Structure 1
Amino acid sequence: MDFYLSEGGVRTQLPFGELDISGNEEHGYRPFQLMVSSVAGCSASVFRKILDKKKIAIDDLKISAEVERAPDEANKITDIQLHFVVKGVGLKKEQLEKSIEIARKNCSMIRTIEDSVTITETLEVINLSN
């Protein structure tokens, strides 16, 4: 990946498009937003693959991320809380919890930062009627 100076930050060209990164939201995505997005996106992708392999059908998945940062340590990310909301018919919470555990073990972004950032996952299951 190559990065180039741009107005207020840096820019890179990726296969999906251009990405602007800046400490100022007026000029691009903030680095901490990209870090949290990487963790949530990786976790969601791996979770979905696991559900597909287990043949567990879901209608919707939403992940909310809360971030805690340490202002006295250059705003270092200290905690990321991921809250999974899974909607579907006949879902079993225990199966989904086990799938989240497996996803955690197989998400490269979580594995990369888990020794320096506390990552917690919570689960909410919404069973829809047929």
Structure 2
Amino acid sequence: MEVTVRHTSGAQFVGETGSGHAIVIDGPEDIGGRNTGARPMELMLLSVGACSAVDVLHILRKGRADVRDCRVQVRGTRADTEPRVFTDIALHFTVIGRALRENQVERAVHLSAEKYCSASIMLGASARITHSFSVEAVD
């Protein structure tokens, strides 16, 4: 896996993935950015949320659960001193579907957290990561 990060101007960069996708990354105005893209540390939270959500959906669908939607809210707390790493990361999944059982969702979240989500497991080496979920039913 390989990506390229290319400087465009100020504190703005374009990240290009080996799979052919691009994303704008920028800093705040006080460091020369124009606030035109996500911050690098926000991307870390997006990555852990997306990585885990992909796992949860895959596990549930493999188990033939009728999942209609999945949202993950990720909150990160950073250290007060440099290098300002994440000290705590909390993921809350809202899984929406028909006839979903809580134990199905709990199992999927647990498997992602403990076995499959490489982003979560990697960040868990330096941050306390917690997972919670809620299930919403649709007819």
Matched, 1:126 2:136: yes
In structure 1, how many angstroms separate the alpha carbons of the residues matched to 2:76 and 2:90?
7
In structure 1, how many angstroms separate the alpha carbons of the residues matched to 2:15 and 2:99?
44
One-letter amino acid matched to 1:22: D
Match of 1:18 in 2: 22
TM-score (norm 2): 0.83
Find the residue that maps to 1:110 and give its secondary structure: helix
* Structure 1 segment 22-101 matched on structure 2, within 5 A: 22-24=26-28, 26-101=35-110
In structure 2, how many angstroms separate the alpha carbons of the residues matched to 1:122 and 1:12?
31
Find the residue that maps to 2:88 and give its secondary structure: strand
Specify every segment of 5 or more residues in structure 2 that has no aligned partner in the other structure, as ranges: 29-33
Task: Say whether the 8 Å CA contact 2:57–2:67 is kept in structure 1.
Answer: no
One-letter amino acid matched to 1:17: H
In structure 2, how many angstroms separate the alpha carbons of the residues matched to 1:41 and 1:69?
20
Residue identity over aligned pairs, in percent, reads 29
Task: Say whether the 8 Å CA contact 2:60–2:104 is kept in structure 1.
Answer: no
Find the residue that maps to 2:66 and give its secondary structure: coil
Match of 2:31 in 1: none
Match of 1:113 in 2: 123
Match of 2:112 among 83, 103, 113: 103
In structure 2, how many angstroms separate the alpha carbons of the residues matched to 1:30 and 1:127?
34
Compute the displacement of 1:18 (Å): 2.6
In structure 1, how many angstroms separate the alpha carbons of the residues matched to 2:109 and 2:16?
32
TM-score (norm 1): 0.88
Compute the displacement of 1:55 (Å): 0.8
Number of equivalenced pairs: 129
Specify every segment of 5 or more residues in structure 1 that has no aligned partner in the other structure, as ranges: none
